[in-house]
Structure 1
Amino acid sequence: MYLGQCTKDMVRWPRPASPPVLKLEVFYNSEYSMPSTHAMSGTAIPLALVLLSYGRWQDVIVGVLYAILILVVFHPAVDLIDNFNLTYKYAPLIIISLHLALGIFSFTLDTWSTSRGDTAQILGCGAGIACGSHVNYMLGLTVDPSPDALPLAFSPFTVTLFGKAILRLLIGVVCLLLTKIAMKKVTIPLACKLFCIPCDNIRQARQRMEVELPYRYITYGMVGFSLMFFVPCLFLLIGLS
């Protein structure tokens, strides 16, 4: 997604004119269309994206092919990256710094558009999830099953199991929403104050890199970290793990 968003700002291919194209979503008017990041994230359902996304069929096709290319290039290194994220002592520092640097770079490519916030959000989530996984591993909360335990057996489906699953879902969603709301309330005014930006108009303030980048990065970084660490710890504490 990060590569797709940055590529949009380098290619600068505008969205098709409307009319004749029918706009189903006007929020992304200011964002370029090539390649389609919706197609990149939903490569498995490109036909639906042709019908639902506000872009040319070329955007969707390029998005799908671009996603496949990225998978081919990075797939051989997935285990190496995962092992580094989990085991290297200073991995969180490197992860946070790298993702932040990538976010700053993306904000310099072009004028403000919705892709700025999306990019920072993606990077923040990725950094938070990676750091949460690292903490879980270091604390011994993530343990790989022994070879003797494989293959894992499915638990029998019961009403109790279903109820626990629904309860976990509801509690998890509420925790993540509360995290997002709390961090949003803190980061936007704080960024405005630090960089002397008027915050009486939040919409305009968020079009400044000094506000949008830390707001999205920190907020969704905490959401990702909560998803991987705090929420599972809560489940363990209340007996829902």
Structure 2
Amino acid sequence: MAADLKTTFIRCCSYLQDPHHVASFQRICGVEGTFPVKDNRLESVDGPCVKCHPDEMENLESEGDGGVQQLQQGARQRKPVIAELHNDDRSNGMISGTAQESRVGDSTEQQQVLSRKKSSQCSCGNVTGTAVEGDCDNGDSRERVKPLRKNSLTGDVGQEFIIQKKFLFYLFTCGTELGNEMFFIVFFPFLIWNVDAFVSRRMIVVWVWNLFFGQSTKDIVRWTRPASPPVVKVEVFYNTEYSMPSTHAMSGTAIPFSLFLLTYGRWQYPFLFGMGVAICWSVLVCVSRVYMGMHSVLEVITGFLYSLLILAFFHLTLDQIDGFYLTSHHAPLVIVTSHVGLGFLAFSLDSWSTSRGDTAQALGTGAGAALASHLNHQLGLLADPPLSSLPLALPPLSSTLLARTLLRLLIGVVVLLATRAVMKAVTIPLACRVFGLPHGDVRQARQHMEVELSYRYIVYGTVGFSCVCLVPFLFSYLNLS
């Protein structure tokens, strides 16, 4: 019985990990790739044309324990590439476009042929057509676009793709931005400055630990992104990172549900409204990662469940963690040593990747915010409302309230962005000089652990500290509190 359950579970995981499900969802949502047309000699495997005889091709793929092997090979897919990079002149770990293509999973010629659009004609007496065809059954015009941002490690700008349903493209682009840096730079400060500092500082704790566990798990499991083709890479910014689990799905689950758990009962609003917002938020982020071609269905589901597990644990301990951070005389030492120590642990898991920087960035932000919260409590700044005033009621919306809220947000975010830019410009060259490393190429310099850790902790620790302590003090000086 246990063996049958294990076999069923492995087959289910293998099915959900299949990149063709991602490609099918993208086609339903009106996304088509512009993959180059291969030579006609690639159109047939052992005689039969894979487009005219897809069943025979599927039989070839399904021979043996293919599903189990595919699931088990995920953890080994990137190792040959890393070895190749170490043997190359580029000892800094940067991945070139060619190397990137070589690690996109088992992209054999058979898989490339299978991913070709059925509308293309093959060598069975017909002329090869265009690589991409589609119909605009909803009346939307076809538009060729490229990924909005280039890859953060390689500088790859990605391949053109075609969108037929612009509404879904913009919707899922907004959804995926809910897990990116600029959203956090706006969202957490907005909560601190305009809503409830009590809620925001606890949410930051949950967010930091979610990212740490998620990114560390990625570097342990070492699964690569879904293969392209058949998947269309609508986004390439994180394409060189490992993908299991989806940390976008984790943060897109942890933030809305922790916001709901921390505010319901503390603020007056209907239960169904809060739960509905949390569910819609999480679903939008999770589905957007499949739409973008960054994650398989299995990786998104795993990220969602993993985040709920972490959230359940920390929700029970947030009172103790927050109380210790605010009141203990040992809190500053514990905050610094724990966050820096976790950063060193994350950097020891694997060779350099952009996930390393994301982990250190979150840890640095969390450390800076926690230190600022401790200082605020000691100085009596940003005091929490008394328990007798709970539950809090939303103030009536007025033009004055809206203007002050927007003004605080605008001034505060500008200060944070300026702080980040100045600290970044100063810290990286300084760290390179301290550790005796060349600083002409910033991207290469950041791939050294000494530079990356010091840069991320100093820059984002300063940003977190400024957000929680210095900017509210500035608002008091400007009479905007």
1:142 Cα offset (Å): 3.0
Among 235, 238, 243, the alignment partner of 1:25 is: 235
Which gives a bigger RCO, structure 1 or 2 (Cα 8 Å, sep 6+)? 1
1:24 Cα offset (Å): 1.8
Letter in 2 for 1:37: T
CA deviation string 1:143-186 (max 9, x = no partner): 23234433334333221111111110110111100110111011
Among 406, 410, 424, the alignment partner of 1:170 is: 410
Distance 1:71 1:227 in 2: 24
Q: Is residue 368–residue 460 contact of structure 2 (8 Å, CA) maintained in 1?
A: yes
Distance 2:430 2:382 in 1: 35
Distance 1:21 1:207 in 2: 29
Does residue 349 of structure 2 align to residue 109 of structure 1?
A: yes
TM-aligned CA distance change 1:150 to 1:78, over 3 Å: closer
Q: Which moved more, 1:165-174 or 1:139-148?
A: 139-148
Distance 2:213 2:391 in 1: 36
TM-aligned CA distance change 1:8 to 1:186, over 3 Å: same
**What residue is the counterpart of 1:37 in the other structure?**
247
1:233 Cα offset (Å): 0.6
TM-aligned CA distance change 1:53 to 1:82, over 3 Å: farther
Q: Name stretches of at least 5 consecutive residues in structure 2 with no aligned partner.
A: 1-210, 254-281
Does residue 333 of structure 2 align to residue 93 of structure 1?
A: yes
Q: Is residue 38–residue 53 contact of structure 1 (8 Å, CA) maintained in 2?
A: no
Does residue 375 of structure 2 align to residue 135 of structure 1?
A: yes
Letter in 2 for 1:102: L
Q: How big is the alpha-carbon RMSD for the aligned residues of Structure 1 and Structure 2?
A: 1.3
Q: Name stretches of at least 5 consecutive residues in structure 1 with no aligned partner.
A: none
**What residue is the counterpart of 2:216 in the other structure?**
6
**What residue is the counterpart of 1:184 in the other structure?**
424
Q: Is residue 234–residue 291 contact of structure 2 (8 Å, CA) maintained in 1?
A: no
Does residue 399 of structure 2 align to residue 159 of structure 1?
A: yes
**What residue is the counterpart of 2:433 in the other structure?**
193
Letter in 2 for 1:3: F
Letter in 2 for 1:91: A
**What residue is the counterpart of 1:226 in the other structure?**
466
How high is the sequence identity, in percent, across the aligned residues? 58
In the superposition, the TM-score normalised over structure 1's length comes to 0.96
Q: Which moved more, 1:118-127 or 1:17-26?
A: 17-26
Distance 1:50 1:226 in 2: 35
1:53 Cα offset (Å): 5.1
Q: Is residue 435–residue 450 contact of structure 2 (8 Å, CA) maintained in 1?
A: yes
SS of alignment partner, residue 240 of structure 2: coil
**What residue is the counterpart of 2:39 in the other structure?**
none
Distance 1:107 1:17 in 2: 26
Distance 1:218 1:151 in 2: 38
Among 314, 325, 329, the alignment partner of 1:74 is: 314
Among 207, 210, 215, the alignment partner of 2:450 is: 210
Distance 2:440 2:422 in 1: 19
Distance 2:320 2:375 in 1: 18
SS of alignment partner, residue 357 of structure 2: helix
TM-aligned CA distance change 1:148 to 1:76, over 3 Å: closer
Bigger share in helix: 1
TM-aligned CA distance change 1:69 to 1:204, over 3 Å: same
> What is the total number of aligned residue pairs between the two structures?
241
In the superposition, the TM-score normalised over structure 2's length comes to 0.49
Distance 2:443 2:287 in 1: 34
Among 16, 23, 36, the alignment partner of 2:226 is: 16
SS of alignment partner, residue 42 of structure 1: helix
1:17 Cα offset (Å): 1.3
Distance 2:471 2:405 in 1: 14
Distance 2:400 2:230 in 1: 53
Among 52, 59, 67, the alignment partner of 2:299 is: 59
**What residue is the counterpart of 1:149 in the other structure?**
389
Distance 2:346 2:232 in 1: 29
Q: Which moved more, 1:43-52 or 1:207-216?
A: 43-52
**What residue is the counterpart of 2:116 in the other structure?**
none
Distance 2:293 2:411 in 1: 32
Q: Which moved more, 1:60-69 or 1:143-152?
A: 143-152
Letter in 2 for 1:227: C
Q: Which moved more, 1:142-151 or 1:52-61?
A: 142-151
Q: Is residue 219–residue 242 contact of structure 2 (8 Å, CA) maintained in 1?
A: yes
Distance 2:292 2:227 in 1: 16
Distance 2:387 2:452 in 1: 46
Distance 2:393 2:313 in 1: 34
